[in-house]
Chain A
Amino acid sequence: MFETLMLSRMQFAANISFHILFPTITIALSWFLFYFKLRFVQTGEPVWMRAYRFWVKIFAITFAIGVVTGITMSFQFGTNWPKFMETVGNIAGPLLGYEVLTAFFLEAGFLGIMLFGMNRVSARVHTLATLIVAIGTTLSAFWILALNSWMQTPQGHEMRDGVAFPVDWLAIIFNPSFPYRLSHMVVASGLTAAFLVAGISAYRLLKGDDKQAPKLTLKIALTVAMVLTPLQIFIGDMHGLNTLEHQPQKIAAMEGVWHTEKGAPLLLFAIPDEEKRTNHFEIAIPNMASFILTHDLEGEIKGLNEFEGNHPPVAPVFYAFRIMVGVGMLMLVISWFSRIQLWRNKPLPPWLLKALVAMSFSGWLATLAGWYVTEIGRQPWLVTGILTVKDAATNIAPGNVALSLSLYLILYVVIMAAYLHTLFTMANRAVEIEEITDDEKVKPVVSMPLINRENNHV
């Protein structure tokens, strides 16, 4: 049977993988909502309010799942990984504390006004509340990524009797991998939200929804995706160079490089074999890995054999990296192709809409794969050079962990099913609801009396 260490790892992986799906959407969706609200205030076009109203409900449900699934994490640091806080708690603690104080309260405090307060506060205060929620979600990403990056590339501390003490907080927060990881994650969130908005909007169009709002949101989402995909590829490349400098063993695993070599090939596909310390069935582009990582065709890449016993398991990192990059390339192609179609004023053909629906949750796949690369890639360390995962583990009875893990897994399946079902139920309901005609500027034939803008809220 499994031992406590393995079960604790599985539980933490399950908790954090499930949790991160929802903030990944809300971090960027909050900015989409702020944009919709701002445009409504500026133009008075009711279509912006419709877009806001539809997406704010999806935001609310996603945010709620994010909040409640996140609470589990702060308990587990103590229950399953007691040595983590004992060793690096002096660093991790305040960073988590600042996240709660500056981000969680901010977003939760103004969420009520954003969701339910439109008739109770002025339009200006409501827009401000929407902006503050967006800032709050982004701030929480800032703090948690500062901590995660410090665990990857620690600095600004000193060790006394095996315990880390802070020396320079600015160095701790702005550790070498932090700017790259933060921007990579924030842009990942932008892409995840963009493809979700595009996918659900495309779904509504496919269901025969002829209203303005889904067309508008599809266009905006595709524009965002079109801009962010190349940007993400650029940031990812920078992040890779940074990792090569600070965690070369992770890069070696990502590229499947066993022996240190000059002019290393880029492996499009391979089956890494950790026992024989080689790859099977390689499909490779010669010299490309060296070129990407060192910007020199003959650049040297350190192989895994130089880190024997001290490098991550190769296969999961290797595959996860290819999934992430693969999804990213697909995103690039489909967003540019669709957006150019729209730009040429051509309606998207059904097959393309279907493809966009299929891509609704592509951001989740890429984000999870990316996190697996960076987290598994840090193994066997929990905090690089300071604490291994094995040493941080608890001594709780394995039966207890197995029980809690099983309960969590059942819960997650139920929530995921309900979430997806609800999302599409909401989309279908939106298709059925007739648009009030007084604001349809697209149909100038029907002349309607001017109605107070406030009334269009309902």
Chain B
Amino acid sequence: MFEADSLAVIFVALMGLSILLYAILDGFDLGVGILLPLTQKDDSDTMIASIGPFWDANETWLVLAIGLLLIAFPAAHSHIFKELYLPTAVLLISLVLRGVAFDFRAKAAFSHKPTWNKVFKIGSLLAAMSQGYMLGMYVMGFENTLAAYAFSILSAFGVAAAYAYIGACWLIMKTEGALQVQAVAWAKKAGLICFIGVIAVSAVNPLINPDVLTKWFTWPTTLYILPLPVMCFALFVYSQMQLKLLPAVNDKGCWQPFVGAVIIFTLCFFGLAFSFFPYIVPGKITIWQAASAPESLSFLLWGVIVVVPVIFSYTFFSYRVFWGKVRELRYH
């Protein structure tokens, strides 16, 4: 049996981990979808092949994250998703569209393939943007003001750019030749937009949320938390410089931008998490107020302790199996 208060913290940490893993993993495959060129047939096949074995499992992290919110903090789940009802519907429909397009493009009549490619691209873009919009509304405390909507739309583009960025970095690592050169160009452009987006969110968040402001700018907390934005900034600059050198001889360092992007995602995530903890609905509900019964959470936690390490090991195994540059995607 675990204690009620620590259970809430454990489960919010687990949920946070799932959200972060989702943003990184589905982030790169949504990003690849956003970048999908509609004219170059071979490139689009290679790009889709690079995410083919992973996207199903990547999306499962979203199911787990939303599941944990629903299971551990049901009151917060219904509060958040009632506020975000329509953007959620758009997100779900986009995910359905791109998921089915992934399979239909390869298996339906050949003449329909360009249409399914379009559906895949638009579905990926809309899914990313609706997530960004939802994040924006969350940060703005679900206000019904013009400023909140404007900020959320900005955030929608920011998240789409961030996914395109990590998707491009993934492609730099997984592809060769002309497509890799193209991916470097995408990464530079998307990285810049993403960088501006991160700065915008970082600036607006403390300005509109007084709680966040005091949290970040209270001595000596500021000192401890300062490395977060500084490292993020430094990594962005370093990655942009690094991208100028790619692709290098013998493909040296092709993995660096992707690892850099993963660290940037992680830093941004911790920045946001730090801003709002222990609130699960900003300014309204804390994790302790929303938590389910301890007997239920303990029962589930035993499963988590046993199963999650296993999930990690076979997820790692799967990435290991498909390590290296993409080969043609075939069923055998």
- Which residues of A come within 8 Å of B, CB atoms? 49, 53, 56-57, 60-61, 63-65, 67-72, 74-75, 77-79, 82, 85-86, 89-91, 93-94, 96-98, 100-102, 104-106, 108-113, 115-121, 163, 165-166, 169, 394, 396, 400, 403-404, 407-408, 411, 415, 418-419, 421-422, 425-426, 457-458
* Neighbour of B322 across the interface among A49, A77, A100, A116, CB < 8 A: A116
List residues of chain A with CB within 8 A of the CB of B330.
116, 119
- Which residues of chain B (105-159) have a CB below 8 Å from chain A? 107-109
List residues of chain A with CB within 8 A of the CB of B54.
112
A90 to B97, CA, bound (A): 33
Can you report 7 residue pairs joining A to B where beta carbons are below 8 Å apart?
A: A61-B103, A67-B59, A72-B92, A115-B52, A117-B322, A408-B93, A425-B107
B63 touching A118 by the CB < 8 A rule?
no
A93 to B53, CA, bound (A): 29
B95 interfacial by beta-carbon distance below 8 Å: yes
* Neighbour of B63 across the interface among A71, A113, A396, A418, CB < 8 A: A71
B251 interfacial by beta-carbon distance below 8 Å: no
A195 to B86, CA, bound (A): 39
A400 to B86, CA, bound (A): 7
B332 touching A165 by the CB < 8 A rule?
no
A126 to B92, CA, bound (A): 32
* Neighbour of A118 across the interface among B52, B293, B304, B332, CB < 8 A: B332
B64 touching A101 by the CB < 8 A rule?
yes
B300 interfacial by beta-carbon distance below 8 Å: yes
B304 touching A78 by the CB < 8 A rule?
no
* Neighbour of B303 across the interface among A53, A77, A101, A407, CB < 8 A: A101
B331 interfacial by beta-carbon distance below 8 Å: yes
A90 to B297, CA, bound (A): 8
List residues of chain A with CB within 8 A of the CB of B95.
68, 71
List residues of chain A with CB within 8 A of the CB of B93.
407-408, 411
List residues of chain B with CB within 8 A of the CB of A112.
52-54, 56-57, 318, 321-322
CB distance from B118 to the nearest CB of A (A): 14
B318 touching A109 by the CB < 8 A rule?
yes
B332 touching A67 by the CB < 8 A rule?
no
In the complex, which residue of chain A has the Cβ closest to the Cβ of B76?
A78
A89 to B93, CA, bound (A): 26
Over the window 27-60 of chain B, the binary record of Cβ atoms lying under 8 Å from chain A Cβ atoms (1 yes, 0 no) is 0000000000000000000000000111011011
List residues of chain B with CB within 8 A of the CB of A82.
74, 78, 82
CB distance from B30 to the nearest CB of A (A): 13
B71 interfacial by beta-carbon distance below 8 Å: yes
In the complex, which residue of chain B has the Cβ closest to the Cβ of A165?
B293
- Stretch from B216-224, B268-276, B306-314 at the A interface: B306-314
- Known contacts A112-B53, A116-B322, A407-B93; A93 and B63 CB within 8 A of each other: no
A116 touching B52 by the CB < 8 A rule?
yes
B267 interfacial by beta-carbon distance below 8 Å: no
Chain B residue total in the interface (Cβ 8 A):
62
A96 touching B332 by the CB < 8 A rule?
no
B89 interfacial by beta-carbon distance below 8 Å: yes
A79 touching B64 by the CB < 8 A rule?
no
B72 interfacial by beta-carbon distance below 8 Å: yes
> Among the interface residues A65, A94, A110, which one has the most CB atoms of the partner chain B within 10 A?
A94
B78 touching A97 by the CB < 8 A rule?
no
* Neighbour of B60 across the interface among A104, A120, A165, A419, CB < 8 A: A104
In the complex, which residue of chain B has the Cβ closest to the Cβ of A52?
B332
A78 to B72, CA, bound (A): 12
B315 interfacial by beta-carbon distance below 8 Å: yes
- Known contacts A85-B77, A115-B53, A120-B321; A75 and B66 CB within 8 A of each other: yes
B53 touching A113 by the CB < 8 A rule?
yes
B96 touching A72 by the CB < 8 A rule?
yes
CB distance from A110 to the nearest CB of B (A): 7
- Known contacts A117-B321, A120-B321; A93 and B332 CB within 8 A of each other: no
B296 touching A78 by the CB < 8 A rule?
no
A404 to B300, CA, bound (A): 32
A166 touching B295 by the CB < 8 A rule?
yes
A96 touching B71 by the CB < 8 A rule?
yes
CB distance from A143 to the nearest CB of B (A): 11
A320 to B218, CA, bound (A): 65
In the complex, which residue of chain B has the Cβ closest to the Cβ of A64?
B103
The 7 closest A-B pairs by CB, nearest first: A112-B53, A93-B71, A68-B99, A82-B78, A85-B74, A78-B77, A404-B89
A111 to B99, CA, bound (A): 14
A78 touching B82 by the CB < 8 A rule?
yes
List residues of chain B with CB within 8 A of the CB of A49.
332
B99 touching A64 by the CB < 8 A rule?
yes
A96 to B292, CA, bound (A): 14
B68 interfacial by beta-carbon distance below 8 Å: yes
List residues of chain A with CB within 8 A of the CB of B297.
94
A86 to B79, CA, bound (A): 12
List residues of chain B with CB within 8 A of the CB of A411.
93, 96-97
List residues of chain B with CB within 8 A of the CB of A117.
53, 321-322
B75 interfacial by beta-carbon distance below 8 Å: yes
A93 touching B314 by the CB < 8 A rule?
no
> Among the interface residues B307, B322, B329, B331, which one has the most CB atoms of the partner chain A within 10 A?
B331
- Known contacts A53-B332, A96-B67, A109-B57; A422 and B107 CB within 8 A of each other: yes
A78 to B70, CA, bound (A): 7
A391 to B306, CA, bound (A): 37
List residues of chain B with CB within 8 A of the CB of A407.
89, 93
- Known contacts A109-B57, A110-B314, A112-B57; A403 and B86 CB within 8 A of each other: yes
B279 interfacial by beta-carbon distance below 8 Å: no
B321 touching A100 by the CB < 8 A rule?
no
CB distance from B198 to the nearest CB of A (A): 27
B74 touching A108 by the CB < 8 A rule?
no
CB distance from B172 to the nearest CB of A (A): 21
A60 to B329, CA, bound (A): 13
- Known contacts A61-B107, A113-B53; A169 and B299 CB within 8 A of each other: yes
A163 to B296, CA, bound (A): 13
A394 touching B82 by the CB < 8 A rule?
yes
B85 interfacial by beta-carbon distance below 8 Å: yes
* Neighbour of B88 across the interface among A56, A79, A96, A104, CB < 8 A: A79
